[in-house]
């Protein structure tokens, strides 16, 4: 089973690490990735 929110969180986390060197966009991407990761984790926990 694939969790789209978890995949999006992973991609945004990687992008945030790369872009934080260049600008504050990395902080924004990291925050969004964190939120999606938490929501994705809760979705998996409720499905079993």
CA–CA dist 19, 1 (Å, integer): 30
> What does the domain layout of the chain look like in residue ranges?
4-42
Within 10 angstroms of residue 2's Cβ, the number of other Cβ atoms is: 5
pLDDT, residue 2, reads 66
**Residues making up the chain, counted from first to last:** 48
CA–CA dist 23, 48 (Å, integer): 39
Mean pLDDT, rounded, for 19-44: 82
Alpha helix stretches (DSSP H) within the chain: 4-19, 25-47
Structure letter (DSSP) for residue 2: -
Structure letter (DSSP) for residue 1: -
Q: Is the pLDDT of residue 18 over 70?
A: yes
Q: Is the pLDDT of residue 1 over 80?
A: no
């Amino acid at each position: 089973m694939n969790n789209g929110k978890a995949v999006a969180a992973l991609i945004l986390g990687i992008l945030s690490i790369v872009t934080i060197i260049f600008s504050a966009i990395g902080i924004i991407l990291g925050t969004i990735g964190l939120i999606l990761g938490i929501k994705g984790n809760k979705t998996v926990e409720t499905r079993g």
